Amino acid sequence: MASTFSIHCRASDDLLLAMVDGEPVLTKADTSDDRQLWLKDLRYGAGLTDEEGSPAFALVNKATGEALKHSFGHICPVRAIKFYPLGYVDESILWAEDKDDMGDGFRRIHMINNMDYIFDAEQGTPDFGGAREGTRLILFRWNGGQNQQWRITPHAPSAPAAPVLDLAPEHARPVRIVCQSGQDLSLIVRDGAAVLARTDHKDQRQRWMQSFTNTGHVTDDKGHRAFVLVNWATGKALGHCLGVGRVRLVPHKPDSVDVALLWTQGNDRGEGFRNLRSVSDTDIVLDAANGGEAGGAHDGTAVIIFPWNRGSNQKWKMIPFQ
């Protein structure tokens, strides 16, 4: 059983962060209200850290199953989305705490990929009447206010100091890989080659493991963590080819790391689609051959690597395999 936490803002002694009507806000502390309880999932962070080395985590509301998601920008409210722990690592729901304790366990909580954007109880300063029931959680730049200092504390005295959600092996996430140019198609191994095929939820050849085993802290030049894509049915990993051409399928050896098998994900290009790229050259990406032309990708489209050209056939989404 995962431990639960309360999130307390220094600007008020009697308010806790809760999910109310789909929005994270401060409410009167109530020990019986599960909306005020949070799961701090370090496992989902897959070993990612901020630039100071603090570990990434997701904050998942116990009552709603929603994870706190980065806002659209400075002064915008923090959002919440349904949490899917077995999908790809979504950096937009990852947070970290500053190492520096500001006294009594209060710290700044910031986006994993931008330490300048921190939790802020909106207008929770004395000038605006202080934090109160219904105060929204936004992201703001550090200004030293007590409404920007937070403490994540175990809800039960017996809770361990560093809990994780007991959901899936830390280093393996089963996913389906879908291309934007043919969203009814999935990546499959067929006749020894990687191609697109009509999605079949019972076909284990369309099941891939996003594996972080033995990749350590290897990242691409943009700081995105590397992983291996291993086909469940064949046990073979998706590998880069030399130059431009069809991807290779290579027997996976989890006790070693071959850089030619390492991939990373780019930023969200809309609706969760991202480019999948070689860890050693982020301009070389996974591509559904000729899938950006009239008619798009189809059953049997070969999967290659090709220079990034922003085509829909170069944008992919990894979703939980169900």
**Residue-level pLDDT, tens digit, the chain, 322 residues:** 356 899 999 999 899 999 999 999 999 999 889 999 999 988 787 678 888 888 899 999 999 999 999 998 888 999 999 987 765 678 899 999 998 889 888 999 999 989 999 999 999 988 888 899 999 999 999 999 999 999 999 875 433 333 333 333 345 678 999 999 999 999 999 999 999 999 999 999 999 998 877 676 678 888 888 889 999 999 899 998 766 788 999 888 766 668 889 999 988 899 999 999 998 889 999 999 988 776 789 999 999 999 999 999 999 999 988 7
- 246: tokens are 């069809």
Sign, CA torsion 306/180/95/259: negative
Q: What is the DSSP string of 16-76?
A: EEEEETTEEEEEE--TT-GGG-EEEESGGGTT-B-TT-PBPBEEEETTT-EEEE--SSTTP
Other C-beta atoms closer than 10 Å to the C-beta of 121 total: 28
Q: Is 312 helix (H, G, I), strand (E, B) or coil?
A: helix
CA atoms within 13 A on the CB side of 94: 22
Q: Alpha-carbon distance 297 to 151, whole Å?
A: 49
Question: Which residue type is seen at 126?
Answer: P
Burial 225-240 (b: 16+ CB within 10 A, else e): bbbbbbbeeeebbbbb
Is residue 179 helix, strand or coil?
Answer: strand
Angle ∠(227,194,283) on CA atoms, nearest 5: 50
How are strands ordered across the β-sheet holding 114-121?
Answer: 95-97, 109-111, 114-121, 137-140
CA distance 58 to 47: 12
Backbone angles phi, psi at 34, to 5 degrees: -65, -15
CB 311 within 8 A of CB 175: no
d(CA 161, CA 296): 51
CATH of 174-320, one of 3.30.230.80, 2.80.10.50, 2.40.50.840, 1.10.150.120: 2.80.10.50
Where in the chain do CATH 2.80.10.50 domains reside?
4-154, 174-320
Judge contact between 246 and 302, C-beta under 8 A. yes
DSSP, collapsed to helix, strand or coil, labels residue 92 as: helix
Sheet holding 303-307, edge to edge: 245-246, 303-307, 281-288, 276-278, 263-265
DSSP state of 91: G
Q: How far apart are CA 81 and CA 154, in angstroms?
A: 23
CATH 2.80.10.50 fits 4-154, yes or no: yes
- Do residues 33 and 68 touch, judged by C-beta distance below 8 A? no
Residue 257 is predicted with a pLDDT of 67
pLDDT of residue 243: 60
pLDDT tens figures, 113-163 = 899 999 999 999 888 888 999 999 999 999 999 999 999 998 754 333 333
Instruction: Show the tokens assigned to 111.
Output: 């986006």
Count the neighbouring beta carbons within 10 Å of the beta carbon of residue 293.
11
Could you tell me which of 271, 75, 52, 318 has the C-alpha nearest to residue 175? Answer: 318
171-205 pLDDT, tens digit per residue, is 567 899 999 999 999 999 999 999 999 999 999 99
Q: How many Å apart are CA 274 and CA 158, to the nearest integer?
A: 41
- For residue 229, what is the enclosing H or E element? strand 228-231
Q: What is the predicted pLDDT for the residue at 3?
A: 66
